[in-house]
Amino acid sequence: MNKLFFIVAMVLISFGCKTNETSPEKEKPKKINDFAIIIHGGAGTILKKNMSDEKEAAYIAKLEEAIKTGHTILKNGGTSTEAVKKTIQVMEESPLFNAGKGAVFTHEETNELDASFMDGETLNAGAVAGVTNVKSPIELAIKIMTDSDHVMLSGKGASIFAKEKGLDMVDPSYFYTERRFQSLQRIKNRNKTELDSNDKNAAFYDADIKNSKFGTVGCVALDKDGNIAAGTSTGGMTNKRWGRIGDAPIIGSGTYANNLTCGVSSTGWGEYFIRNQVAYDISAQMEYQQKTLKEATSDVIQNKLTKLGGTGGVVALDKNGNMSFEFNTAGMYRASMNDKSELIVKIYKE
């Protein structure tokens, strides 16, 4: 009897091995781009009816300038780190975006800047929060990653570090723009006085308040060596108080990069992105649930974030060069370029 059981067991084992040998392997996703880059300039209530032709043209031109800057670096064999830094700096130096030169104002009428960066090859990262006199917050975030033992620095300490490392320092007045200052005044006035529902300015005020949380810039790049980098830079929320910090400088919320999966940069209502760990969640779904980039970004933004009440979006780029714009707002300033130099620039929801 024991001999019979042994024979049957050996037959079953042999059959199982043959089955495994002959079963087809799951087809691996193919690389569609040797290098690629994707950016955002903020998400929110961005409607065609509220946008002048001149302003729309200005945004499109600056998005093109920014992404072509990074694309040229990648095309010439440069690193994803350099591409992300230079691309974001173009937007930081433009008053059109809520980052760097165009940063929004705090309740105390100052500009407090945040940024973060992550290297998908090493999983090293750097971040900065609440600086007021560093010209390029994204450059500082990268410098924190490469030249310190820390991931995040804030306030005066971060400024001291930046000065010691030779970064460009500016007077806080450099970040002043009349447009952002007046936005703060409108929100302050709205908080003081309840507008009559028939007030002709009510819709304008409402749009200001809704968009006080948006405008962050970000970039994700894949270089020819297969390395992914992601970065995010922002002025935060208009009228923010008490040293409020949003998701942009928080690794896993506003920024995440991993060569095994993807890179992500977020923009939106920061508190919800922090609670959802939006950027990391997208990568985790790809790694542990084998989801595609599109499946992961859609689930996180359209399902998980939306159900919690959060608004905003992400740009993401995976290890095979697939790209995704995902947002649950009326619009998001965005652009992408692949290794064939195909350019996409969009503002409104399709």
Exactly one of 69, 81, 106, 216 is catalytic; name it. 216
| Cα-Cα-Cα-Cα dihedral sign, residues 71, 73, 75, 81 | negative
How far apart CA 237 and CA 112 sit, in angstroms, is: 10
Look up residue 177 and give its amino acid: T
**177 given a catalytic annotation:** no
| Cα-Cα-Cα-Cα dihedral sign, residues 302, 216, 247, 186 | negative
How far apart CA 295 and CA 298 sit, in angstroms, is: 5
DSSP string, 175-216: G--HHHHHHHHHHHHHHHS---TT-TTHHHHHHHHHGGG---
Q: Report which of 326, 319, 315, 327 is spatially closest to residue 254, judged by C-alpha positions.
A: 315
How far apart CA 174 and CA 136 sit, in angstroms, is: 12
How far apart CA 247 and CA 255 sit, in angstroms, is: 8
Answer yes or no: are the C-beta atoms of 88 and 217 closer than 8 Å. Answer: yes
In degrees rounded to 5, what are phi and psi of residue 169?
A: -105, 145
DSSP symbol at 97: S
Look up residue 87 and give its amino acid: T
Q: Report which of 342, 103, 144, 115 is spatially closest to residue 235, judged by C-alpha positions.
A: 103
Q: Report which of 172, 157, 37, 153 is spatially closest to residue 100, judged by C-alpha positions.
A: 172
Active-site annotation, residues: 216
